[in-house]
Structure 1
Amino acid sequence: MPQTQSRRTPSPGSMDSGLPPVIRRGRGVAQNGANRFERLHRTACDDGWGTLDEEALAPPPVPTVLVRDASRSAITWNDSADIWFDRSINTYRGCEHGCVYCFARPSHAYLGYSPGLDFETKLVFKPEVATLLEAELRRPGYEVRPIALGTNTDPYQPVERTLRLTRAVLEVLERFGHPVSIVTKSANVVADLDILARMAGKGLARVYLSVTTLDASLARRMEPRASTPSLRLAAIARLASAGIPTGVLAAPMIPGLNDAELERILEAASRHGAGEAAFTLLRLPLELREMMQTWLEQHYPQRARHVLNLIRETRGGALNDARPHERFRGQGAYAELLGRRFHRAARQYRLEGRATLDCTRFAVPGRPAQTLDDGQLSLFG
């Protein structure tokens, strides 16, 4: 069981240890890189007993710690020009899946933690998230639009099996008739099949499974605590068979590493019942650039330089381009070819659909509903 902290405190691991990078079993990155907001950094010093060498050869396991979030809101708002939703809920901050490529890693620095091991071992959770959400939905003047789950970190990461915060959020959304769109790389999403099926029957839910690769060996290195590719495909099948609009998100595509699998991923998802598809190109904001380079040198040393050069080719010579409309797709011949391949495969495997979500069913419990299927007003929420 993960440990729990009652309040958030900066982690000493947020500062550079000076230790050489080591592969830690069950974790995505080797160590804690520097938090860009910290002024102090640690430097490792051997006292002559060879302790640093011992730790490099057999690094100790890093436990998962749960940290209570004291913030008093559930919904996060954005006005980004290239994101389809304007509101989202992240039931957890940090993610135990440990995906080395996760664009959300740098956000952990805002909490005083490292985007490295801290991101996947110090998980911030909000036990009152469902209560806070209900209060926000009851506010006068709230205007309903689809809400997104899983936009920053995964709502079905392993800790959800015990905390069940995502399920609590879905229970609130179902009672209010509020539409929701979910992105996850966990097969555990089927634990909420009952709620999602009921909501989908009213046009209130859709789910995307993120499938980065079909290669279990690569997946275990890139995303060590996420569901295996085969289990994600099985989850797509179960969701689709329950009548839930289900899609596949082939993301991120990493040039020279997994992008050759794009068509195979879409074909497999279609075969398992997916009706929609999307993809994104790898992006490496802030601290993620150094972490990704280190990971490539550890796991794929012969390919590391080639992969990094291809990434630069899609990012105007850099490893990242944060400009709206560019960050998800990239630029240049390589990125354009990837986009054409995706659209061709999406047509071929009939994945060009896009389930619409119904915003007309929203009603605050205890107040009259605006409409029903028969067009009559109701006195019941």
Structure 2
Amino acid sequence: MEARLCRLDDIFLVGRETKLGTSLSRNAGISMAFWKRFNEQLKMYHVKQGKQFVKYALTRRGSQGLTYACAVPSAQLYPDHFQIYRIPKGEYLCVEHHGDMAKLPETIDRIFKQELKDRQLTPAKGALVYFEMYDERFHYRKDASVIELYIPLAGNACKSMEEIEAKTILQGGGNTIGQFSWFGMDFNMNLYKGCNHGCIYCDSRSSCYQVQEFDRVRKKKNELLILERQLKGKRKKGVIGIGAMSDTYNPFEKQQEITRGALQLIDRYGYGVGIDTKSTLVLRDLDLLARIASHNPVIIKLTITCADDALGKMIEPYAPSSSERFLALEELHRAGIYAGILMMPILPFINDTPENITGIVELAAKHHAKFIYPAFGMTLRDNQRDYYYYQLDHYFPGKRRLYEQRYHNVYSCDSPHAAKLYKLFQTECRKYGIRYRMNDIIRGYKKQQVQQGQLKL
């Protein structure tokens, strides 16, 4: 029996489960019989595995006792009769069982009674008790067979923030690409990697961005020294976008003040700034934002997707409530900062209702938003889709089926009501005098800076 400590990112699987008893030996018989039925179901539903020769068995605890699930990494196929399972990110004790599968219960018993105690490790008390992974090394009832067992461990090694190496911070050459570019940004930067708002829809979870453990926030080593060197070396100045991939006002920022340090540099070297955030912590830096706005353009974009706080908390669980963000908009307005709303994504079959759209626009007007920029739909790809569908099953039972029927595996998933909602949105914005076209929004905040500069003169 070989053992090691390891750290895993989220793993999403599809499969079926059955109830277990309290006897290890009897459960072994249940699990082996269930595997046989599960393999037949894979063929019946034509489930194509995402990875060849890899299958999983999950022992889970719930209110009704222990269950045993057989599952595979799915290649974006989620049969109605299958559940989506999540192996949560975290620290695990990984043990290799060598030999006959029939002796697996003995290894499991030894791990929980001896191995964990000898290593002074405590198993986690979540839903997952342990899981088994079967790859090409597994051979049924052969001495050369290998099965990997993973036991989730208690504790959270992510409480402190990890540092990662970075050669550059600022991206872009100082050229806005056309008047319809993303809010007229000339440069972009992300001061942190990862985000802990926990939004169920976030595109940044996609594997194409290569951000492992996206919910874990990491800082970049010597980020302000690197940024200052880059700012000093630019021939052409412009507006710097912050927070497109990771919210720059995460909870760590309260103590780290990396974003505040970056704003001080932006002010010192004569750049403008545009910030995307869901956090009310942006209000801490009103003094710096006002100072930058006195000489260069400033725009703050607060993401608000729901007029109703309860619905918002389901899809953005760890971000400040919509009500708090609306109040932050008002504070930004009072400080003379050009601020508005990113009304995106509007999720199909969830918040794509006329009541939600009119509610957001009315509250935006009440709290003096200068603009609202919408997207009536969302994007879905690879592991982001897995995460989203897993959350749909949890919070919105039955909605996953609607997505599968309408969108299959396409990337861009527009709301079926997109055209009608956009027309309603336009009418409401015009009623309250709120900008909603990209070029009007860009002109608005850049014009405001010119006017402020003239007043100062």
Shorter-chain TM-score: which interval?
A: 0.7 to 0.9
CA distance in 2, matches of 1:96, 1:332: 26
Q: Which has the higher contact order (CA 8 A, sep 6+)?
A: 1
Go from structure 1 to structure 2 and tell me whether the alpha carbon gap of 1:129 and 1:360 turns closer, same or farther (over 3 Å shift).
farther
Higher strand residue share? 2
Aligned residue for 2:402? 306
1:200 and 2:293 correspond: yes
Q: Aligned to 1:110, which of 198, 204, 210?
A: 210
Aligned residue for 2:232? 138
Kept after mapping to 2: 8 A contact 1:64/1:123: no
Number of matched residues? 323
Deviations 1:69-118 (A, max 9, x none): 2112111239989852352110111001111211111258625x2xxxx2
SS in 1 for 2:423: helix
Q: Match for 1:188: what amino acid?
A: L
Kept after mapping to 2: 8 A contact 1:202/1:358: no
Q: Aligned to 1:318, which of 403, 409, 418?
A: 409
1:58-73 alignment, distance < 5 Å? 62=156, 63-73=158-168
Q: Match for 1:55: what amino acid?
A: G
Aligned residue for 2:420? 337
Kept after mapping to 2: 8 A contact 1:210/1:249: yes
1:97 and 2:197 correspond: yes
How much does 1:48 deviate?
A: 5.9
Go from structure 1 to structure 2 and tell me whether the alpha carbon gap of 1:356 and 1:109 turns closer, same or farther (over 3 Å shift).
closer
Aligned residue for 2:223? 129
How much does 1:243 deviate?
A: 0.6
Query: What fraction of aligned residue pairs are identical, expressed as a percent?
Result: 25
Structure 2 unmatched ranges of 5 or more = 13-55, 63-84, 90-95, 98-103, 113-122, 130-151
Go from structure 1 to structure 2 and tell me whether the alpha carbon gap of 1:73 and 1:54 turns closer, same or farther (over 3 Å shift).
closer
Go from structure 1 to structure 2 and tell me whether the alpha carbon gap of 1:279 and 1:30 turns closer, same or farther (over 3 Å shift).
farther
More displaced 10-residue stretch of structure 1: 346-355 or 222-231: 346-355
Q: Match for 1:151: what amino acid?
A: A
Q: Aligned to 1:244, which of 321, 337, 340?
A: 337
How much does 1:178 deviate?
A: 0.5
CA distance in 1, matches of 2:191, 2:336: 25
CA distance in 2, matches of 1:92, 1:309: 37
Report the aligned-residue RMSD.
Answer: 3.8
CA distance in 2, matches of 1:21, 1:186: 35
Deviations 1:184-236 (A, max 9, x none): 10011101011112222334211111112132222222222211111101100
Structure 1 unmatched ranges of 5 or more = 1-9, 24-28, 34-41, 322-329, 362-371, 377-381
1:13 and 2:8 correspond: yes
Which of structures 1 and 2 has the bigger CA Rg? 2
CA distance in 1, matches of 2:59, 2:391: 12
CA distance in 2, matches of 1:20, 1:319: 33
CA distance in 2, matches of 1:307, 1:22: 29
Q: TM-score, normalised by structure 1?
A: 0.73
Q: Match for 1:274: what amino acid?
A: A
CA distance in 1, matches of 2:299, 2:263: 12
Kept after mapping to 1: 8 A contact 2:301/2:340: yes
How much does 1:246 deviate?
A: 0.8
CA distance in 2, matches of 1:320, 1:289: 9
Kept after mapping to 1: 8 A contact 2:270/2:296: no
CA distance in 2, matches of 1:101, 1:293: 9
Kept after mapping to 1: 8 A contact 2:192/2:246: yes
SS in 2 for 1:119: coil
More displaced 10-residue stretch of structure 1: 262-271 or 335-344: 335-344
SS in 1 for 2:320: coil
Q: Aligned to 1:185, which of 278, 285, 290?
A: 278
How much does 1:54 deviate?
A: 5.9
1:288 and 2:384 correspond: yes
Go from structure 1 to structure 2 and tell me whether the alpha carbon gap of 1:57 and 1:342 turns closer, same or farther (over 3 Å shift).
same
CA distance in 2, matches of 1:55, 1:145: 49
Q: Match for 1:273: what amino acid?
A: H
CA distance in 1, matches of 2:434, 2:61: 41
SS in 1 for 2:411: coil
